[in-house]
Amino acid sequence: MPDQPSEARDRDAAIDAAFRVHAPDIYRLLYAIVRDRDAAEELTQETFMRAYDRYEQFDQARPIAGWLHGIGTHLALDRLRWWRVRRLLGVRGLREADLGASVAPDHAAAVADRDAVTALLDELPPRSRAVIVLRHAYGYDDGAIAELLGTTPGAVRTLAWRAHERLRALVASQRSGVPADVHTRLEAPGRLRDGRN
């Protein structure tokens, strides 16, 4: 059997090394978006298979982690669209994949806070959730997120603003017992807020 060409060997070695280093991080990102362990595992494998197939498109002057985040995010959003996720997702905790944060098991307040954030994230549409996770858990700026999602920085800012508004309304709802959509309507520009304008 003839030897593999040098280019193929380089690709094999690069993707193998990337898998060993970045697979746990890619899994956490995908789990944070799709909220399902089995799907996140499957999508992690698919991310690296896609990276292998498209390795010639990788700009080696840039970090491979960002390229993998982009591939994985697109796959996760495609999967969510296919699942019609808004009707299928229930409230689930991040548990093992807590966006990379480590929480000691006996810190009840930290666990409660994490679960509360997880429940709030579940209320966001998939693209908004992806923007929030990429921005706050991974530190990407608007331009980088736009590149990963195939959109514009302005669209990313709009998604982030809407997501933050939704999250604020949800938190206010939890504190006051008033449904979140009422808070959103009351806080819209030009509307009275609690009758105290």
Q: Answer yes or no: is 1 within a domain.
A: no
Is 100 part of a structural domain of the chain?
yes
Under 8 Å between Cβ of 32 and 121: yes
- Which 3-state string (H, E, C) describes 83-103? HCHHHHCCCCCCHHHCCCCCC
Side-chain-side CA neighbours of 17 within 13 Å: the count stands at 7
Which pLDDT value is given to residue 178? 56
Task: Establish if 65 belongs to a structural domain.
Answer: yes
In-domain check, residue 193? no
Residue 149 token pair: 């999602």
Range of the domain at 39: 6-186
pLDDT digits (tens, 9 = 90+) for 26-84: 999 999 998 889 999 999 999 999 999 999 999 989 999 999 999 999 999 888 877 65
pLDDT-based confidence at 157, cuts 50/70/90? very high
How far, rounded to the nearest angstrom, does the alpha carbon of residue 57 sit from its chain's CA centroid?
Answer: 23
Q: How many domains does the chain have?
A: 1
Distances 80 to 46, 124, 177 between C-alpha atoms, Å? 15, 12, 30
Q: What percent of the chain has pLDDT above 90? A: 39
Give pTM, 2 decimals. 0.61
pLDDT, position 137: 82
Residue 102 lies in a domain: yes
pLDDT, greater one: 7 or 25: 25
Q: What is the mean pLDDT of residues 127-149?
A: 89
